Amino acid sequence: MRRRVSGSVRRSVRWQAAGGARGRVPASLALLTATVLTFHSAVPNAVGRPGSLVEAFLPWLGLAVPLLLVAALVRRSAAALVAVLLPSLAWLGQFGGLLLPAERGAHDLTVVQHNVSDENPDPAGTAAALAAAAPALVALEEVTPSALPAYAAALESRYPHHAVEGTVGLWSKYPLTGVRRLDIRPAGIGEGWSRGLRAGVSTPEGEVAVYVAHLPSVRIGPSGFASQRRDESARLLGAAVAAEPVHRVVLLGDLNGTVDDRGLAPLTSQMAAPRRGFAFSWPASFPVSRIDQVLARSGTVAGIRTLPATGSDHLPVVARITWDPAAGS
């Protein structure tokens, strides 16, 4: 006597049989993606710095999840479907908090950070757009001598205190003290390269040490991800921050790296990165990465977001900072 097999059972058998072999590829890729997301610091960086290259675009690995999901469905593989959960959970664990709404409530300091570009055709308009966000501090990089008067004139009414060292500048609503050039030159770069400053800011909550920096650019070429000079400059900057006697510190700058990039570990290991918002800032025409950073010591960067495009190839970012009351100034 022949036993009938229902259509649903036959479909289930076909799904499992097909998935057993053909699901290995999407399942393996899902496992690889989850591993890179979770253990990206283990990707070697000795030759060509592939680790830093991966970390520069780490959030975009999340795009593999829907592709792998489609592949698992097409191959009718239950094992592959389960495997896709791994990179999904890894991505959410790494970046899920950045998707949450910005934290509301009181904050102590609002800051704007912007690489204004040395080819910006409208410095005055750019400065006005930044001031419209009503920050207490405005940090600029790639300020040329010819454009400086336009930035100064547009900002002076709201920001009577400012300091410029080389191509970086800081405009403040509050008095500045102890302004000095910050030497973060990598080996082999001459004295004329001046892209860092340190200033004390006398805020209503107490003294804050503010660092403005523009680290060397990185390049992708035949030899790999060329970030050696940036990494060396980051180490010099990190040493300066570590030696800073003022407890509350803010770093504003174009660091030419993301907070996931191990090249910035001398900074991110001792300073807090934003807890909300991706705020991809570069390139302005199609932002894929946030290399314009706001980091804080003895405080929390509650959220960060971009402002509308200016005449620069970067987008401005604005962030809110809340100080740890136990830290003092």
Please name the residue that has the structure tokens 């932002």.
287
Helix (H, G, I), strand (E, B) or coil at 220: strand
Q: Which range has the worst mean pLDDT, 43-47, 56-60, 305-309? A: 43-47
User: Predicted confidence band at 220 (pLDDT cuts at 50, 70, 90)?
Assistant: confident
Q: pLDDT class for 104, splitting at 50, 70, 90? A: confident
Secondary structure element (H or E) that encloses residue 162, with its range: strand 161-165
pLDDT band at 17 (very low <50, low <70, confident <90, very high): very low
Q: What is the pLDDT of residues 167-183, one digit of tens each?
A: 999 999 999 999 999 99
Could you identify the residue written with the tokens 């030497």? Answer: 183
Q: What is the rounded distance in angstroms from the CA atom of residue 318 to the CA atom of residue 291?
A: 13
From the list 203, 303, 291, the residue with the least C-alpha distance to 249 is 203
Strand spans (E) along 109-175: 109-115, 137-141, 161-165, 168-172
Residues 111 and 127: their CA atoms lie apart, in Å, by 14
Instruction: Share the mean pLDDT of the chain.
Output: 92
Say what the pTM is: 0.90
| Structure tokens that stand for 101 in this block | 């709404």
Which of these, 46, 35, 9, lies nearest to 224 by C-alpha position? 46
The domain ranges of the chain are: 7-99, 109-323
Q: What is the pLDDT of residue 145?
A: 97
pLDDT score recorded for residue 32: 97
- The position carrying tokens 């920050």 is 135
Rounded Cα distance between 59 and 246, Å, is: 34
State how far the Cα of 289 lies from the Cα of 307, in Å rounded to an integer. Answer: 15
Percent of the chain with pLDDT over 90: 82
- φ, ψ of residue 8 in degrees (nearest 5): -65, -35
The CATH T-level fold of domain 109-323 is: Deoxyribonuclease I; Chain A (3.60.10)
Whether residue 117 has pLDDT greater than 60: yes
* Nearest residue to 238 via CA among 211, 274, 200: 211
- Distance, first Cα to last Cα, the chain: 87
pLDDT of 15 strictly over 80: no
